Amino acid sequence: MPPIEQSKWVSVIDKIAQINCDYCKVLKNDGYQWVYKNKQIKIVSHSGNEFIIGKSPLGYELEIPVDEIKDIVPMENLFSEKQWEYNPCMQSEDFYTMREILFNAIANGNPIWIAYDSNNSGYSTRFLSNLVFCRMGATCGAPHIGLGLCTKHGMNSLSHFYAYCSNRKEFRMFAADGRIRELKVLNCEHVYIATEVYERSFAKLIMSLYDNSNGNAFFENVDKILEYMPKCEFNSPITQINLADFHVLNGDIYSAMELYKKKTYGFFLTPSRTWGEACIGDIKFFIKLFEDHLKDSSDYYGFNAQKQKQNFEKVLRILTQSPWIQHK
């Protein structure tokens, strides 16, 4: 039997372990990152596939397939220069600065370290990751859904946020006020327990128009998510279909039609569903959605349900009469 080929990452890990630093950063092919304690990572095999595992300061042990890894680099500095510290003489603008740091951490997927003086459990320090803006509850699986709401009303609207806590090993809510005694932003970005979070935030915002608690900043949220979304997620078929839906919601039927026809009807998104089926499914979903809300006493977030229904019906009519669907 020929010898089993050793992963190239074994030698990389060994070299990094010799460097005088406490942490290393895994750079993934999809643009996301993760942080491990330098001397506590290793490669394991499951069912013939290799994974990197190890301890992380973030309190969550993420297992990463080696074929998803672009590079592993030492972190000479765990923390960036973005830091903030409380003092009793602070003015309101000082808290604005702190909330701006938090907003940017949410937008860019930066983990943070905080010293926090809880009303219930007292003073302690912890790492927080997967920061989520919240105002009337949080959608932890779609952390960027409230970005536009925050910018629309200013950073002071960020009164609370959710994050995965390294101490409690669960998502917890934190106040963005004087209870934060010290704050440091880690020297990494797009660090999440689960990836594709911009894509899922975008899809959640588009497809849950009538039950999204942050919907009163609908267009601002969409614009902000698209501004921060990594290119690989923006170019994904799911995002492109959701973007076509957004164009219809925004009254731009021409741009929507270009996107719906971007791929052939028969292009397979999954083994059991085509691009065309997904596009038509979305359009019929919105027709039914606005039909159900025609009797609302007021236009929801400024949307005219009758007009929106007519726009999606127009798009459906054009597509079903076009060569795009006739050659499926």
Question: Which range has the worst mean pLDDT, 14-28, 108-122, 192-206, 274-288?
Answer: 14-28
pLDDT(294) > 80: yes
Percentage of the residues of the chain whose pLDDT score is greater than 70:
92
Domain boundaries, the chain: 8-75, 77-231, 236-326
Q: For the residues 281-307, what does the mean pLDDT come to?
A: 85
Residue located via tokens 């506590």:
40
Of the candidates 97, 209, 234, 223, the residue with the CA atom closest to the CA atom of residue 149: 223
Q: Give the SS3 label for residue 86.
A: coil
**Tens digit of pLDDT for each residue in 125-159?**
999 999 998 766 667 888 898 888 888 777 778 88
- b (16+ CB within 10 A) / e for 40-71: ebeeeeeeeebbbebebbbbeebebebeebee
Which pLDDT band holds residue 214 (cuts at 50, 70, 90)?
Answer: low
Q: What is the mean pLDDT of residues 24-41?
A: 91
User: How many C-beta atoms surround the C-beta of residue 317 within 10 A?
Assistant: 10
Share of the chain above pLDDT 90, in %: 61
Residue 20: pLDDT above 90?
no
End-to-end CA separation in angstroms for the chain: 49
pLDDT bucket at 228, cuts 50 / 70 / 90: very high
What integer is the mean pLDDT of 292-302? 73
Q: Residue 213's pLDDT band (boundaries 50, 70, 90)? A: low
Residue 215 in this model has a pLDDT that exceeds 60: no
Contact 154, 220 (CB under 8 A): no
Q: What is the pLDDT of residue 2?
A: 43
- Class of CATH domain 8-75: mainly beta
Q: Model's pTM, two decimal places?
A: 0.88
